[in-house]
Amino acid sequence: MRKRKPKTCFQDKATIDTRNGIVTGHVSRIDPSVVNGTVTVDVTITDPLPNGARPDLSVDGTVELENLKDVLYVGRPVHGQADSTIGIFKIIDDGAEAVRVNVKLGRSSVNTIEIVDGLKVGDKVILSDMSAWDAFDRVRLK
């Protein structure tokens, strides 16, 4: 992910699934330490809490860091890193073959990555590890 500029006032929107309902809020604190690639954040909830909410409840949350409009994106390839160019196999001939194309990647999230150049809407690609076929520009699919 791209490095973010430090903020003194956090406005990142958050959605929290309490399993009894979904509430919204915003990030109020970002822990400066990183543990196993994870950063802890505190969220101030702005909606009323659903019935059954209690301290230390296990919840799932999503923090919206950025909202991009009109962006071409795919699921994140195995070796896909933000702001890089990779070779990826694009499926052609109604799924009979795949050819390697160079794809320039942009910003990324946990599961998806922006396509800056090299693919268009409707292209189908192979996202799994194809490093065993690095010496080939075309593969036959069965």
Look at the pTM and tell me if it is higher than 0.75: no
Three-state SS string over the chain comes to CCCCCCCCCCCCEEEEECCCCEEEEEEEEEEEEEECCEEEEEEEECCCCCCCCCCCCCCEEEEECCCCCCCCEEECCCCCCCCCEEEEEEEEHHHCEEEEEEEEEEEECCCEEEEEECCCCCCCECCCCCHHHCCCCEEECC
Are 81 and 132 within one domain?
A: yes
Are 85 and 39 within one domain?
A: no
Are 22 and 77 within one domain?
A: no
Decide if 36 is inside a domain. Answer: yes
Decide if 77 is inside a domain. Answer: yes
Decide if 3 is inside a domain. Answer: no
Identify the pLDDT of residue 137. Answer: 95
Q: Pick from 27, 46, 64: which residue ends a domain?
A: 64
State the residue range of the domain holding 29: 13-64
Higher per-residue pLDDT: 72 or 57: 72
Identify the pLDDT of residue 67. Answer: 80
